[in-house]
């Protein structure tokens, strides 16, 4: 069995893992870092909503993994199988082991398509789509363009999910297209959300409810998709009153989401299955030389790329302090951002921290995030993808420097 060792080992080559590696190497360019990531392609996932809305081309959201691995980091093209934290060791799918002084866990979240009966067999056909899979986002746009009448259902599973606004974004963009095409009045639109509220931060709900009314959307809360019969175009939802069956011509499905199995089964996991870390320092609660961030962390923040952008510098600073035998000094305040595309050209820019506290990046006179704005659309469509590829993944911490420790 092969055994290699590195000072810092990062599990996951997604937004959180790459951004953290880049932030560490900005501070210590010669540090020995390895990134464990089996995928050959890196995706800008926030762009998939725009692909499904006919705004972005899918290819613009994808780049070869080799092009985003930071210079100086070692790329280990393997899947992670298990963790042995007492031995400072990770075991890979091929049986080899990697030893570390500091471990950073960022493998993302797993899309549990299989938890909805009949869904996997019908995805990408029979009018059933999902922007949560890259190859299906273009199919979403195809369905939206082709639907002239009938019923469109948009679903949202129980939390946690990545980008809690994405289930709505696709719906608003679709409705805006149908309105412009003059067919919205011939399409019955339903939003079936397993949760009890339209959006988790109350300040943004009034603006969203205006669009629910404007587009004539039938809002059903406490309604969770449990089964799909694609050929018959029928969906089954669990509600407080029992099961409800709905027919559809088009359905956009958001799958339930869980921790990757190798993490959930490991000693690193909290009860939720996610990496058990302090929500401010992002340091593991039992092993001080382990940190976790991104969608796989146990923190109660919204799971978004914007959250990972803020978390990466915090982990970078605290991991380097751990290597030098000191305690963490950087703190994460729970920041998350969800640019809600309410129509083509306008966005409600939700930005918030722990406890639903509003955390705007810009002064209100420039952008009032609780109201739809054109400037926010320009930010989402033009600026954020550029910042992602050229800033976040390169260790440039624009609007994302590590904060001081928050009083707990």
Based on the residue annotation, tell me whether 338 is a catalytic residue of this protein: yes
Q: Which of 116, 123, 163, 308 is catalytic?
A: 163
175 flagged as catalytic: no
Please pick, among 105, 187, 201, 338, the residue that the annotation labels catalytic. Answer: 338
Report the C-alpha gap between 5 and 100 in whole angstroms. 6
Task: Quote the CA–CA distance of 279 and 147 in Å, as a whole number.
Answer: 44
Residue with structure tokens 């406890």?
Answer: 355
Q: How far is CA 66 from CA 41, 42, 79, in A?
A: 8, 9, 16
Compute, in degrees rounded to 10, the torsion defined by CA atoms 99, 66, 266, 310. 100
What secondary structure letter does DSSP report for 367? -
Strand pairing of 80-84 and 89-92?
antiparallel
Residue 76 makes CB contacts below 8 A (sequence gap 6+) with 4, 34, 35, 36, 37, 92, 98
The residues, any chain, with a CB within 8 Å of residue 131's CB and separated by 6 or more, are 48, 49, 51, 52, 137, 140, 166, 170, 252
Estimate the crossing angle of helix 166-181 against helix 137-146, to 10 degrees: 30
Count of C-beta atoms within a 10 Å radius of residue 334 = 22
Could you list the active site residues? 163, 338
């Amino acid at each position: 069995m092969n055994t290699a060792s590195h000072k810092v080992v990062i599990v996951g080559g997604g937004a959180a893992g790459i951004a953290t590696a880049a932030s560490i190497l900005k501070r210590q360019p010669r540090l020995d870092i390895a990134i464990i990531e089996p995928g050959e392609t890196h995706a800008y996932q926030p762009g998939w909503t725009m692909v499904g809305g006919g705004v972005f081309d899918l290819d613009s959201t994808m780049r070869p993994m080799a092009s985003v691995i930071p210079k100086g980091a070692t790329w280990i093209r393997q899947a992670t199988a298990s963790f042995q934290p007492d031995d400072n060791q990770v075991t890979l799918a091929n049986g080899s082991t990697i030893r570390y002084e500091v471990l950073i866990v960022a493998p993302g979240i797993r899309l549990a398509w299989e938890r909805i009966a009949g869904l996997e067999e019908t995805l990408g056909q029979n009018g059933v789509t999902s922007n949560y899979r890259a190859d299906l986002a273009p199919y979403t746009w195809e369905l939206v363009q082709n639907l002239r009448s009938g019923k469109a259902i948009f679903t949202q599973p129980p939390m946690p999910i990545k980008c809690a606004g994405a289930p709505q974004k696709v719906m608003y963009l679709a409705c805006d297209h149908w309105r412009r095409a003059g067919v919205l009045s011939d399409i019955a639109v339903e939003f079936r959300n397993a949760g009890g509220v339209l959006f988790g931060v109350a300040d943004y709900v009034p603006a969203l409810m205006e669009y629910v009314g404007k587009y004539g959307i039938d809002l059903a809360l406490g309604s969770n998709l449990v089964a799909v019969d694609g050929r018959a175009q029928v969906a089954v939802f669990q509600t407080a009153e029992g099961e409800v069956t709905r027919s559809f011509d088009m359905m956009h499905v958001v799958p339930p989401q869980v921790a990757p199995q190798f993490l959930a089964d490991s000693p690193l996991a909290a009860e939720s299955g996610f990496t058990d870390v302090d929500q401010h320092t992002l340091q593991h609660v039992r092993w001080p030389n382990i940190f976790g961030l991104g969608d796989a962390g146990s923190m109660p923040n919204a799971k978004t790329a914007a959250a990972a952008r803020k978390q990466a510098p915090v982990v970078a600073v605290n991991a380097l302090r751990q290597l030098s035998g000191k305690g963490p000094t950087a703190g994460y305040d729970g920041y998350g951002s969800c640019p809600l595309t309410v129509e083509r050209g306008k966005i409600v820019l939700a930005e918030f921290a722990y406890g639903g506290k509003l955390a705007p990046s810009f002064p209100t006179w420039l952008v009032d995030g609780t109201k739809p704005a054109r400037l926010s659309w320009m930010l989402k469509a033009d600026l954020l993808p550029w910042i992602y590829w050229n800033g976040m993944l390169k260790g440039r911490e624009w609007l994302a420097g590590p904060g001081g420790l928050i009083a707990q």
